[in-house]
Chains A and B, each alone.
Chain A
Amino acid sequence: MLSYIYKRTSNAVQVLLFVSIITFAVLQWIPGDAAQLILGSEATPENLARLRTALGLDRPWYIQYWHWLKGLVQFDLGRSYVFGQDVVTLIQQRLPVTISIAVFSMLIASTIAIVLGILAAIRKNTMVDYLATGIMQLGSAVPAFWLGMLMIVYFGLELKWFPVSGYVPPDRGLGGYLNSIAMPSIVLAIGEVGMLLRTVRTSMLEALGQDFMDMAKAKGLSSFTIYFKYALRSAMIAPINVMGLQFAKLVGGTVVVESVFGLPGVGRLILVAVEQRDVFLLQGLVMFVTALVILISLLVDIAVMFINPRIRIEMQGE
């Protein structure tokens, strides 16, 4: 168990190191350095040289990389020159927004997917199943930005149920907070629910066809026990993996939805970094998102391990 976590962690470190090399190399190769970008095309060569020295850009690339890496280990992701603030501070400000809509959209998507997926599998080829199939197709076919705009027009401007844009932190009122993230969460959920629903339905159908289901029925157990204790338990592993992947993707930034709803989240920060060619910010963000995705997938793997006794016991190793 511990050796497994150790193995996975050292694996994660290797991946992070690899990503750091790629990120650094790519941003080195693109034309125009940071000093040029900061001072603009009118800058004098003397000023440019001075800024390069100040930023350390005049030193060889491996020294630059080493300094950056040393910072990373100490959770120093560098400093954004567009915002004039530490990247870590910028992320800290924006992460709650992104986490909020990621968590809420996953809650909405997984509730719908699990309930409807189970029903669709149990009542295969009935109205519930057709409804589920419809949602699967709708969710993956409708673009998020368009759906978001429709919701703003109808629920925001027409009915005035939710604010059209912006984010209210929870410490300024829970109601306002929930209202501000409701629409973006729903839009994201609709995008995620199709895939998850399909996974739940498929693995539930597979579980229902297993021999142990015959045994559960022959024992005359209640339908609830048959479906939840027997079928769902073996059907949950694939959906949990999918949920983990989806959550990791959402936490890594939801550029489109954050833009449509004017939310100051990580996705928008990435957008700014790219648009303004803020190399240091971009480097920091890439490393942060990578680390987050690796962490979440590690947590998901450990969760799956706890659900599946076979893996858990083999991990403990006699």
Chain B
Amino acid sequence: MAEEKVLDIENLTIRTQRGRTLVDGISLHLYKGEVLGVVGESGSGKTLTAKTILNLLPENLSWEADRFAVLGADYLTLGKKDTKALVGQKIGYVPQNTGSYLHPMIRIKDQIIDGYLRYTKNNRGEALERARELVKAVGIRDTERLLKSYPWQLSGGMRQRVNIAMALMNQPRLIVADEPTTALDSTIQMQVLDLLKTVNDLYETPVILVSHDLGLVKYYCERIVVMYAGQIMEAATVEQVFSNPKHPYTRALIKVIPSLNIKKGERLAEIPGQLNAVGTAGGGCAFKERCSFRQEACEYTIREKTVADNHYYRCNLDF
């Protein structure tokens, strides 16, 4: 694989206006053709990280980084307008499936083509032709009817297909999928992710797949980044994460993946405790309150390690 860095983020920190840290010095790298899973609970900072890449961070939050290069463009020096144009032209955004990401009062066809018309010289007819092709490609049969519909006339799965088709309109060089399968049936979840994987295989478009579901994501990614309380706990290939998890949190996540042969009345496994606020670790480990392997050292110090083949983790223990 060509080692071209699509995403090169070093030491990204996101803070609120009052100085509370939400994402605490994370580094992310994504290479051409790769699918990177970013996994963590709600509040782990994974969505904020994705929003920073999309230039969608809310105004009351600010970010800083040592390096923030997306598709070769450096966000740290890129102007506001150019960043917006870069995101619109080269990044496809597949949002959470809540339906609220499509405007309820605008027909699908007008929403699907407006970003395309902005960044190509093609006319409306050509844009609609491309929309038709893509909508068909994402598995919608009655394309004409779909294009004429309003979002609330569609099912959740249909809407997410529309979102994917819309993300593909400008032939993106990066796809950011932020919890793309939330609130979908599990069969539809697989279909949506299969679709993203197909796009990835076909066009070698790199994908960042943000999800809380490690069990689902593992089938679609090459590498996985496990986030907790705004920090990266572990980052490695899927095989490494599942065959040789180094961080107790990753182990806990693997353990809570529900298996199919669960017995009736049996409780689903869970990780005890709650996600603590980011930045309360006080130099120690962010996961210490919930960790069953906690040692005294975890209170005030943490070790970052990288072992064989870029397997990164942040823990005082060695498994």
Spell out A's residues near B (CB within 8 Å): 210-212, 214-222, 225, 229-230, 233-234, 307-310, 313
Whether B152 is near chain A, meaning CB under 8 Å from some CB there, is: yes
Residue pair B93, A218 in contact (C-beta under 8 Å): yes
Contacts of A230 in B (CB 8 A): 103, 106
Chain A residue nearest in CB terms to B89: A220
Contacts of A216 in B (CB 8 A): 103
Chain A residue nearest in CB terms to B100: A211
Contacts of B303 in A (CB 8 A): none
Whether B150 is near chain A, meaning CB under 8 Å from some CB there, is: yes
User: Knowing A220-B84, A233-B105, A234-B105 touch, does A214 contact B114 (C-beta < 8 A)?
Assistant: no
Our pick among B56, B100, B107 for the contact of A210 (Cβ within 8 Å) is B100
Contacts of B106 in A (CB 8 A): 229-230, 233
Interface string of B88-128 (1 = CB under 8 A from A): 11010101101011111111000000110011000000000
Kindly list 13 other residue pairs between chains A and B, CB separation below 8 angstroms, not including A218-B56, A225-B114.
Answer: A211-B95, A211-B100, A211-B101, A212-B102, A212-B104, A217-B56, A219-B118, A220-B85, A220-B88, A229-B106, A229-B114, A233-B105, A307-B105
Residue pair A234, B56 in contact (C-beta under 8 Å): no
Q: Nearest 4 CB-CB pairs, A to B?
A: A220-B88, A219-B115, A211-B100, A218-B93
Chain A residue nearest in CB terms to B51: A214
Whole-angstrom distance between the Cβ of B307 and the nearest chain A Cβ: 37
Chain A residue nearest in CB terms to B93: A218
Residue pair B152, A310 in contact (C-beta under 8 Å): yes
Our pick among A215, A220, A313 for the contact of B102 (Cβ within 8 Å) is A215
Whole-angstrom distance between the Cβ of A159 and the nearest chain B Cβ: 45
Whole-angstrom distance between the Cβ of B197 and the nearest chain A Cβ: 21
Whole-angstrom distance between the Cβ of A8 and the nearest chain B Cβ: 22
CA–CA, A313 and B149, complex, Å: 11
Residue pair A215, B105 in contact (C-beta under 8 Å): no
Of A220, A221, A233, A310, chain B has the most CB atoms within 10 Å of the CB of: A220
Whether B35 is near chain A, meaning CB under 8 Å from some CB there, is: no
Q: What are 6 A-B residue pairs whose CB atoms fall within 8 Å in the complex? A: A215-B102, A218-B55, A218-B91, A221-B114, A310-B104, A310-B152
